Chains A and B, each alone.
Chain A
Amino acid sequence: SAVISQKPSRDICQRGTSLTIQCQVDSQVTMMFWYRQQPGQSLTLIATANQGSEATYESGFVIDKFPISRPNLTFSTLTVSNMSPEDSSIYLCSAGTGTGGEQYFGPGTRLTVT
């Protein structure tokens, strides 16, 4: 199994600002993903973080709003840019082998935008 740390664990931000969330895995993994979970909803995939190349975004999510970096096989960041109250959510990173195997989640970041 992989142990994933994520920070910050929570933040309250002003609208129009940006927040960068960091995700660190204790071992090299093939796949890293970023999810959003809005209140009362299931998980929504934002993007797949690709090592050394641009992230692959899901429909409805764009790089300008959610830039993602993955400089190596154990670390990734997600930035939520120009925030609005609608961005208030839990943001989760996950890591897995990418072969349909086990996937583990970080502890999550609870973001509130005022």
Chain B
Amino acid sequence: EDKVVQSPLSLVVHEGDTVTLNCSYEVTNFRSLLWYKQEKKAPTFLFMLTSSGIEKKSGRLSSILDKKELSSILNITATQTGDSAIYLCAVPDSGTYKYIFGTGTRLKVLA
């Protein structure tokens, strides 16, 4: 059965710290891995990683895909209180077009 696991479940840091969030997956047919930020209700799309695009960067956020380790990391440098959110990763199911979500990492950045 396809599966996505995120770690840690929660994290508390201080402004200016750098954090690394992990996402590991088990899918028979890997196509992509997506990262989202969820602050209130709706997840906001951050990155999509594929076999042909294993690194993405936007400002202080960056993400890398490790196909050998079946995992991805999301790095946030110089964290700010506005980075406080739940970070979700998802992969498409092998046999269908639906997405499997991890349980998320709840990040809290203290001023």
Q: When the two chains form the complex, which single residue of A1, A90, A92 contacts B45, counting CB atoms closer than 8 Å?
A: A1
| Chain A nearest Cβ from B31, distance in angstroms | 3
Chain B residues closer than 8 Å to A98, beta-carbon distance:
97
Q: When the two chains form the complex, which single residue of A41, A96, A101, A106 contacts B42, counting CB atoms closer than 8 Å?
A: A106
Contact A31 B97 (CB under 8 A): yes
What residue in chain A is nearest B101 (Cβ atoms)?
A43
**Main SS class of interface, A:** loop
Q: Does B110 contact A (CB under 8 A)?
A: no
**CB-based closest 6 A-B pairs:** A100-B31, A108-B41, A100-B92, A98-B97, A105-B42, A108-B42
Chain A residues closer than 8 Å to B88, beta-carbon distance:
42-43
Chain A residues closer than 8 Å to B44, beta-carbon distance:
105
Q: How far is the CA of A106 from the CA of B40 in the complex (A)?
A: 12
Contact surface of B with A, Cβ cutoff 8 Å:
31-32, 34, 36, 40-45, 48, 88, 90, 92, 96-99, 101-104
Chain B residues closer than 8 Å to A113, beta-carbon distance:
none
Contact surface of A with B, Cβ cutoff 8 Å:
1, 30-31, 33, 41-43, 45, 48, 90, 92, 96, 98-108, 110
With known contacts A31-B97, A33-B98, A98-B97, A103–B90 Cβ distance under 8 A: yes
| Chain A nearest Cβ from B6, distance in angstroms | 9
Q: When the two chains form the complex, which single residue of B40, B45, B96, B102 contacts A103, counting CB atoms closer than 8 Å?
A: B45
Contact B41 A103 (CB under 8 A): no
Contact A103 B99 (CB under 8 A): yes
Chain B residues closer than 8 Å to A101, beta-carbon distance:
32, 48
Q: How far is the CA of A104 from the CA of B36 in the complex (A)?
A: 10
Contact A42 B101 (CB under 8 A): yes
Contact A102 B34 (CB under 8 A): yes
Chain A residues closer than 8 Å to B42, beta-carbon distance:
92, 105-108
Contact A45 B98 (CB under 8 A): yes
Q: How far is the CA of A100 from the CA of B34 in the complex (A)?
A: 9
